[in-house]
Structure 1
Amino acid sequence: MTATPSQPRRRDGLQAAEGSENLTHSSPASSSGLENSMKRDVGLHVICGPLINYKNMTLSPDPSLWHGSILIVTQTGQKVPQLHLRQSGPVSLDHGDVSTNGDRSSVERSTIDGVKLYEDPHKAFWRFSVSLPLEAYEARWEYIIPGFSYATGEKVRSPWKFVVPSVNESMRTMFHSCNGFSVDTDPDSWAGPALWNDVLRLHAQRPFHAMVGGGDQIYNDGVRVEGPLKYWTDIINPQKRRAHDFNEDLRVKCDTYYYENYVRWFNDEPFKTANGQIPQINIWDDHDIIDGFGSYVDHFMKCAVFRGIGGVAFKYYCLFQHHIAPPRSTFTTDAPQTMEAVNGTAGIDPRQLENTFVLQEPEDSRWIMGKRPGPYVEEISRSLYMRLGRRIAFVGIDARTERTRHQVNYPDTYDAIFDRLSSETIAANGEIKHLILLLGVPIAYPRLIWLENIFTSPLMGVVRLLNKRFGIAGGFFNKFDGQVDLLDDLDDHYTARRHKRERKEFILRLQDFSKTHSVRITILGGDVHLAALGRFYSNLSLKVPTENDHRYMANIISSAITNKPPPKLVANLIARKNRIHHLDKETDETLMPLFDKQPGGVEKSASWNKVTMPSRNFACITEVDKPVVNGSISYASNQDGVAEGAAASHPKNGRQPLHKGEEHAGTKHRAADGVSSDGGILGSLNVSIRVEIRQGDKEGRTEGYGFGIPPLMVSSPVAAA
C-alpha cells in the first residue's frame, strides 16, 4: 500500500495505538546503526525542528503506553520522511547501575512514517506520532530522521534523546512562561534565552519528562513594529484603524511574519536543543498572538485586523505548539465566509487552499473543546487534559480564545472542564493524587485595583487629551485603543475588578472538586515577569491541618524564563500590597515568604521583600518517592502513607508556614536543588523555583528556592464511595 499524507504506510500489520500513525518493528539496531542508516539516505532539507511534544498516557494494566509526537518543517516537494526510534535502556544505566534488567542490545528499532499536516509552496509540516510501551524502569529513547539536513547547512547533532517515566512513576516536569522578549528589550543585554542552559544542565543531572509552557512561548508583538502591521499601527485616527480591512494581501504578509518568527525563535539556541529532547505541553496567551489580545475594549477587539491576526496566530499555534493540522482557512475581509465560524472554525476560502494541502483529521483526545467560538477568534477554545504519569493529572486552560475585558472563559467551558476532570478522576479509581492546573496568569496574587483606579480615573482623561494634542506621555498610552498601556495587563489578571466574580466561582468549584475526589490541586501561573508563591487555605480559625485541607492550593508563579523582569521598585510595591485576603468566610489567601536571600548575593529587591523576586526564573516539580532523609527539614510517613507530624506548629497567620513542607522554604529547603525527590510525605511534591543570578550571564546560572506541597487526605471522598 502506498503511503499518502492522510493514510501512512503500515508494514507490520499491528493495530495502531492511540495517536500512532505508523509504528513498525525491525531487527535490533545499535546507536551507530541508526546513524549509518541516516548517512545512506540524504536529501531531507529541514527548516525547523525536531520539536517533541507529549500528548497523554494510557495507564491500563496492559498495555500501558506513552503518547507523543515529533514535528519537523521541511522545504516542499520532498518524499515522505521517516523516523527511526529505539530504546537505549534504563536511565539508571547512564550512571553505571547495571542491576536493572534493561538490555540495550535486545531493544528493537521502530520506523515511523511522517504524516503531512500542512504544505504550501514554501514549506511542509510533518508529524511523527509516537506510542511507546511504559516499562518498569525510567527509559531513555533516541531517534534519528534519515537524510535529515538543515537547509541552512548547520551541523546536525543526532541522535536526539528523550526520557519517559516508568509505568509506576509520576512525571518530573519543568514549568516556564514568557519565553521571548518584548519589543523594547535588548536581547543581548540579557544573553538571549540563557536560562535554557540551566534547564539543560538540570535535565542532564536528572531528566525532565516534560516542559510545561504557560503561555507566551513566543513573542509576536514585532508584527506591529517591524512587521506588516506597522503602517496600520501608525494610523493616528482610531476610527480609521478600526475600520481598516484585513484583505488577502495583508493576511499573506501576516502569515509569513508569524511563520518566520516561529522558525527564528524555535531555532534559537539553547531553546532549540531543549525542543528536541524535552517533550512540550503548551497553552497560549496574548503574546503568542499580540500583546494584550482579548483585553482591549470590545469595539476595538472586533476590528478586522485583530480578528485576522487572531486567526493567523492560531494557525501556527496549532502547528508549532501542538503538532495538529491548522484550520483550512483563516479570517479575511475578502472572504465573508471566513468571518464566521462553521462547526467551530472559520469558513473555507478557496483562494487560501490554492497549491496548499491541509490534513483533515479527528480532534485530538486530549482536548476539552469549547462549545462556541471565541468573540474575536473564529475558533472554539481548546483546553488540555492529560495524565502526568501514575499519580498526577494535568489540565491546561485555554484562557485566551474566549477572553474579553469582562470574562476569561464562558460558563459552559468551565462546565466542560469540570465534567472531564470528574470523569477522568473517577475512571482512575483513586490513583490520581495531584492535579496540576495551568493558567496563563496567577490567580492567588495581590490585588492591583488601586492601580486600576488610577489608570481609569478622570485624571487620565486629561492626560490622554494632552497626549493626543501635544504628544505628552507618548509611551504611556498604547496605540491600539488609546488606553493606558499597562491597563490591558491589569485586565488580564484574575484579581482584576472585572473578573472578581468569575474568579471566586472558579476557586469554589476547584475546592469542591478537591474535596469530592481527595485530590490536591496545585496551580501554575506566569505572565507577571517575577517569581512568587501564592496560596489559598482554610481560615486558620477553622483549625484544619493542611494535609486535610481541600482549600489549600499553592499557586506557583514563575515568569519570565526569557523576557526581562520588572524593576525592583515595582516588585517591592507589589510586595507591600500583599495582604491576607478573604475569598469568603472560610478561605484566605496570600503570598508566602520564599526568598530568604538574594540569588547568589546579587541584589534584586529590597532586603525586606521575601515574597516577590524580579529576576528571570523557571520552576521544577518532582514527586517525592523517598520520604525519609536525615536533616531537620524532613518529615516522614508511616507505612500507610499517613502523615506523621505533617502540620506546622500552629501558624498565627497565612504568612507563616502552614505545614512542614513550607518550613525552611527557600535556599535551605531540600527541594531547592531542583532534582531531589526525598524529604516530605511520600507522594508530596518538591518544588524549586530557579532564579537567575546575574543578568547577561550566558550560562544562565540560577539559585533555587524550594518548598513542598503535601498530598490531600480527605477522610471520605465521594469518588471512593
Structure 2
Amino acid sequence: MADSNTLPVNGATNGETAPIMRSDNDRFELISGPLINLKNMHYESTPMWHGSVLIVTKPGQDQPQLHLRQQAPLSSDGQHQSPTNRTIEGLKLYQDLHKAFWRFSLDVPVESYEASWEYEIPGLFNVSGEQVNSPWTFVVPAEDQSMRIMFHSCNGFSVGTDMEAWKGPNLWHDVLRVHGEKPFHVMVGGGDQIYNDGIRVDGPLKAWTAIHNPHKRRTHDFNEKMRAECDEYYYANYVRWYNTEPFRAANGRIPQVNIWDDHDIIDGFGSYTDHFMKCAVFRGIGASHCSPKSTFTTDAPQTMHAVNGTSGVDPRQLENTFVLEGQPEDDSWIIGKRPGPYVEERSRSLYMRFGKRIAFVGLDARTERTRHQVNYEDTYDLIFQRLQQEIAAADGDIKHLIVLLGVPIAYPRLAWLENILTSPIIAPIRLLNKRFGLAGGLFNEFDGQVDLLDDLDDHYTARQHKRERKILIERLQELARANSVRVTVLGGDVHLAAIGRFYSHPKLNLAGENDHRYIVNVISSAITNKPPPKAVANLLARRNKIHHLGRTCDETLMPMFDKQPGGLEKSATWNKVTMPSRNYACLTEVVAPAANGTAGEVESAKLERLPKDGHAPLHKGEVGAGTTHSAADGFTCNSSMYGGLDVAIRVEIDPQDMKGTTEGYGFSIPPLAATAEPPSSRHSLRSRISRHDVRHDAVQDEAAGQAAGRPSTAH
C-alpha cells in the first residue's frame, strides 16, 4: 500500500508524479540517525505495519530519499519470491540554521511469514566526511504472529557516575546478540532514554542552580536567551548520546516505542513542591521538550498560558526556522483533554498493536504529574475507553495487554523512609545545610528538600499516590476480567531488576490461569546507569512483605534470582527478589505447535496444590523461575506455556566487559482463561481476612513514623 510519501520506484500511481531519483553525486551530511520507529499495526482488511525512520542532517540540502525492499524469502516450493522495492521521499519536519529533521513514513504489508525489510538512504555521509554504512534491516511479524518485545529503561548515566567503573552502554551489544539469534520486532523504552541532568552542572542552568536564595531562584526569569541556550544543550546531548555505539546501531534496526520520564527533562521533574515546580525555569525546560514551534518564555507572555492545548507563538522563536504544520495526528496517540500543571501542552499516551494477540498502552506519566498525582482522572478515562474500544474491535484476537509505566507499581513499600525524611528531625539539619552547607549531599539544589524525596514521591507506592495506584490496578483487573485479556505491566526507574505481582487472595482458591487479578510487573532497570549499592537491594528485599490491595488482592515480589550472575556477588545470597546489576528484559509469546494441521492444546498452568501466599510460585510458569528456566536465554521460547508469555531478564555480569555478557533469568506468564471466581467472593472473603491482616502494613509504617518523631496519622 502506498501513500503520498511511499511510491514505487518505477513510476507513479493515482496520478502522482514519480519521485526524482538521486544521482550518485548527491551528498547528505548526516548529524544523527537513522532511528526507526513503530507507529501501529492494523488488521482491518489488508493487515499493515506502520512505522517511520528519522534522520537529522545539515540544513539546506536536497530532499533525501529512502529505498525500501523486502529481503526475498523462500516460498514453500523453494523458489525466491520477487522482492518489493519502494522509494520514499523524506518529509521535512523542522529546519533552522544548523539542522534539519527528516521523516520517512513506512507502510508495509504484513505477510503470512515473518518478513525482513531492508532500507538505505543514498548519499549519507557523516559530518566527518565518512560514508555511512548501510543498509539497515528490521523485521515485521507474520500475520498470525505477535511481536517479540525488548524492554529497557534508564539508558544513561546520573551526574557524578564513575565512568571508569561503568563502561558505557555495553548491554546494547548483548541486545544485538539476542536480536541476531531471534529478532526483536519492537524495543520499548520506559523512560530516561537519555539523562539530561547535566544541564544544571555544566550547562546553561549552572548559574541558576547556584543561586542560594530560594525566593530568587523561584522568581528567576526564563527569557528567550535562556530558552535558546537550553534548547541547544538538549539538542547537543541527544545527538551525542544517540550517536553512541552500540546504542546507535540498535536504533536503526529495532523499531522503537518510547515514553518519557524525569531524566529526559531533569531529575525529579514533576515531583518537587508545587510552588517550585511552577517557577519559570522549570516550566520553561518542561515546555521545551514538547512543541518545536514555540515554547514558554517569560519575555513572551503569549507563551506562558496554553491556548487550545498548546502555548502561544513567539515570532522570535520562528526566525530562520521551518516547522511542518497541518499534519494529521497518528492514531496511536491518546491525547489528554487539558494541559499539564507545569507544561503548557496536553499529555500524549500511546496505544498500538504489537502483532496479532498483544495490545500495548504506554502512559505519559510526566506531563500531568505533580507531587500528589500522576495523571488526571479524565486522562485515565480516555485511556480505558480506548482500550475497551480496541479490544472489542479486535473481536477476540487480543489476548495480552502490555502496560508501560515509567516507574514500578508492584514494589516494596518505603513509607517508613518517607516518614523519616519528612519528620521534624530533618528540620534542624536542613537549617544547618542552608547556613553552613552541612550534609550537602542530602538535600537537592532545587527546592531544598531531602534529595531522595523526589524519587520516593515518584513511586506509585508513595503514600500520596496510593489511592490513584489502587484505582488504576483495579480498573486494569476489571478490564482483564471483562475481556479475558492478561495484563502485564512494564516499569523501570529503580536501577535494579525485580518481578512484582498482584494476585487474588489465596483463600479465593483461584488458579493463576483463571485469576484476572494476576498482573505481573516486570521491573527492568537500568540498561546503562549504575545500579544501587548491595545494601539498598538487600533492604528492599527485607521489605518484601505480603501487601494487601483491598480485601481480595495481594501483592509481593517473586523469587527469581536463584544464583548470582556469573558467580559475581551482586547482592546477599539470601536475596532472591532484587538484582542490583544492569539489565534489560525480553518478552515472547509462546505459540503452541500445530498438531495434525491445527493448533496444539493449551496446557493448564494450574498447580496441584495452590500456595498459601506469593512467596511461592503461583502457577507452573513460576516454578523453577531463574537461570534454569527455559525462558532464561531470551529467545528459545519453548516453555510450553502456550498462549502465554515467556519473560527473560538479562543481567550484566561484569561492567568492565565491553561485550556486555549477561546471565539470563526466566519465567512464564499464563494466558487468562475465564475467571472462576464465585460472585459472592468479595463479600464472603471479608469474614475470612481479619482486620489485623488488612492493616498490618499501615501499622508497621505508622510505627516507623512515630519512631522518627512524626505525629500519628492512624484513624
For normalisation by structure 2, the TM-score amounts to 0.91
Specify the SS of the correspondent of 1:259. Answer: helix
How many Å separate the matches in 1 of 2:350 and 2:655? 34
Decide whether the 8 Å contact of 2:593 with 2:600 is kept in 1: no
| Match of residue 68, structure 1, among 44, 48, 51 | 51
Q: After superposition, what is the alpha-carbon deviation per residue over 1:453-476, rounded to whole angstroms, capped at 9, x for unaligned?
A: 111011110110111111110011
How many Å separate the matches in 2 of 1:682 and 1:589? 25
5+ unaligned residues in a row in structure 2: which ranges? 12-20, 678-715
How many Å separate the matches in 1 of 2:675 and 2:371? 41
Decide whether the 8 Å contact of 1:680 with 1:710 is kept in 2: no
Alignment-derived partner of residue 30 in structure 2? 46
Aligned partner of 2:393: which letter? A
Indicate how the Cα distance of structure 1 residues 128 and 657 shifts in structure 2: closer, same or farther if over 3 A, else same: same
Alignment-derived partner of residue 34 in structure 1? none
How many Å separate the matches in 2 of 1:627 and 1:179? 37
Indicate how the Cα distance of structure 1 residues 312 and 100 shifts in structure 2: closer, same or farther if over 3 A, else same: farther
Specify the SS of the correspondent of 2:651. Answer: strand
Indicate how the Cα distance of structure 1 residues 716 and 645 shifts in structure 2: closer, same or farther if over 3 A, else same: closer
Specify the SS of the correspondent of 1:368. Answer: strand
Alignment-derived partner of residue 652 in structure 1? 612
Question: What is the percent sequence identity of the aligned residues?
Answer: 67
5+ unaligned residues in a row in structure 1: which ranges? 1-13, 28-36, 91-97, 315-325, 630-637
Decide whether the 8 Å contact of 2:602 with 2:643 is kept in 1: no
Give the 5 Å matches for 1:134-213: 134-213=110-189
Aligned partner of 2:43: which letter? L
Give the 5 Å matches for 1:289-438: 289-314=265-290, 326-360=291-325, 361-438=327-404
Specify the SS of the correspondent of 2:454. Answer: helix
Specify the SS of the correspondent of 1:187. Answer: coil
2:641 corresponds to 1:681: yes
Give the 5 Å matches for 1:250-649: 250-314=226-290, 326-360=291-325, 361-626=327-592, 641-644=601-604, 646-647=606-607, 649=609
Alignment-derived partner of residue 21 in structure 1? 5
Aligned length: 665
Specify the SS of the correspondent of 2:575. Answer: coil
Q: After superposition, what is the alpha-carbon deviation per residue over 1:407-456, rounded to whole angstroms, capped at 9, x for unaligned?
A: 00000000000000000000000000000000000000001000101110
Specify the SS of the correspondent of 2:425. Answer: helix
Alignment-derived partner of residue 700 in structure 1? 660
Alignment-derived partner of residue 86 in structure 1? 69
| Match of residue 664, structure 1, among 618, 624, 636 | 624
The Cα of 1:677 is off from its aligned counterpart by 2.1
How many Å separate the matches in 2 of 1:682 and 1:23? 40
Alignment-derived partner of residue 18 in structure 2? none
Alignment-derived partner of residue 208 in structure 2? 232
How many Å separate the matches in 1 of 2:267 and 2:479? 33
Specify the SS of the correspondent of 1:682. Answer: coil
Decide whether the 8 Å contact of 1:627 with 1:679 is kept in 2: no
How many Å separate the matches in 2 of 1:663 and 1:288? 38
Alignment-derived partner of residue 698 in structure 2? none
The Cα of 1:640 is off from its aligned counterpart by 7.3
Decide whether the 8 Å contact of 1:190 with 1:697 is kept in 2: no
The Cα of 1:41 is off from its aligned counterpart by 3.9
Indicate how the Cα distance of structure 1 residues 102 and 288 shifts in structure 2: closer, same or farther if over 3 A, else same: farther
Indicate how the Cα distance of structure 1 residues 57 and 267 shifts in structure 2: closer, same or farther if over 3 A, else same: same
Decide whether the 8 Å contact of 1:627 with 1:681 is kept in 2: no
Indicate how the Cα distance of structure 1 residues 144 and 537 shifts in structure 2: closer, same or farther if over 3 A, else same: same
Specify the SS of the correspondent of 1:521. Answer: strand
| Match of residue 116, structure 1, among 92, 114, 123 | 92
Q: After superposition, what is the alpha-carbon deviation per residue over 1:640-661, rounded to whole angstroms, capped at 9, x for unaligned?
A: 7443353363212111000000
The Cα of 1:24 is off from its aligned counterpart by 2.3
How many Å separate the matches in 2 of 1:706 and 1:440? 22
Alignment-derived partner of residue 33 in structure 1? none
How many Å separate the matches in 2 of 1:625 and 1:693? 31
Specify the SS of the correspondent of 1:486. Answer: helix
The Cα of 1:146 is off from its aligned counterpart by 1.2
Give the 5 Å matches for 1:702-717: 702-714=662-674
Aligned partner of 1:336: which letter? P
Decide whether the 8 Å contact of 2:6 with 2:107 is kept in 1: no
Specify the SS of the correspondent of 1:487. Answer: helix
Q: After superposition, what is the alpha-carbon deviation per residue over 1:373-416, rounded to whole angstroms, capped at 9, x for unaligned?
A: 00001110000000000000000000000000000000000000
How many Å separate the matches in 1 of 2:356 and 2:441? 50
Decide whether the 8 Å contact of 2:152 with 2:525 is kept in 1: yes
Tell me whether 329-338 or 179-188 shows the greater mean CA deviation.
179-188
Decide whether the 8 Å contact of 1:196 with 1:270 is kept in 2: yes
Q: After superposition, what is the alpha-carbon deviation per residue over 1:325-376, rounded to whole angstroms, capped at 9, x for unaligned?
A: x441010011111111111111111111111111111222100010100000
Decide whether the 8 Å contact of 1:626 with 1:677 is kept in 2: no
The Cα of 1:101 is off from its aligned counterpart by 6.1
RMSD (CA atoms): 1.8
The Cα of 1:190 is off from its aligned counterpart by 1.2
The Cα of 1:125 is off from its aligned counterpart by 0.2
Decide whether the 8 Å contact of 1:138 with 1:163 is kept in 2: yes
| Match of residue 651, structure 2, among 691, 697, 707 | 691
How many Å separate the matches in 1 of 2:512 and 2:623? 13
Decide whether the 8 Å contact of 2:174 with 2:661 is kept in 1: yes
Decide whether the 8 Å contact of 1:301 with 1:376 is kept in 2: yes
The Cα of 1:49 is off from its aligned counterpart by 0.5
Indicate how the Cα distance of structure 1 residues 715 and 479 shifts in structure 2: closer, same or farther if over 3 A, else same: closer
Indicate how the Cα distance of structure 1 residues 607 and 133 shifts in structure 2: closer, same or farther if over 3 A, else same: same
How many Å separate the matches in 2 of 1:252 and 1:154? 30
Specify the SS of the correspondent of 1:308. Answer: helix
The Cα of 1:312 is off from its aligned counterpart by 1.4
For normalisation by structure 1, the TM-score amounts to 0.90
Decide whether the 8 Å contact of 1:121 with 1:355 is kept in 2: yes
Aligned partner of 1:83: which letter? L
Indicate how the Cα distance of structure 1 residues 240 and 703 shifts in structure 2: closer, same or farther if over 3 A, else same: same
2:101 corresponds to 1:125: yes
2:33 corresponds to 1:57: no
How many Å separate the matches in 1 of 2:529 and 2:302? 38
Specify the SS of the correspondent of 1:511. Answer: helix
How many Å separate the matches in 1 of 2:261 and 2:333? 17
How many Å separate the matches in 2 of 1:181 and 1:100? 49
Indicate how the Cα distance of structure 1 residues 627 and 617 shifts in structure 2: closer, same or farther if over 3 A, else same: farther
How many Å separate the matches in 1 of 2:464 and 2:94? 40
The Cα of 1:46 is off from its aligned counterpart by 0.7
How many Å separate the matches in 2 of 1:124 and 1:467? 46
Q: After superposition, what is the alpha-carbon deviation per residue over 1:115-168, rounded to whole angstroms, capped at 9, x for unaligned?
A: 011111110000000000111111111111111111123442111111111111
Decide whether the 8 Å contact of 2:410 with 2:500 is kept in 1: yes
Specify the SS of the correspondent of 1:26. Answer: coil
The Cα of 1:706 is off from its aligned counterpart by 0.1
Specify the SS of the correspondent of 1:106. Answer: coil
Alignment-derived partner of residue 681 in structure 2? none
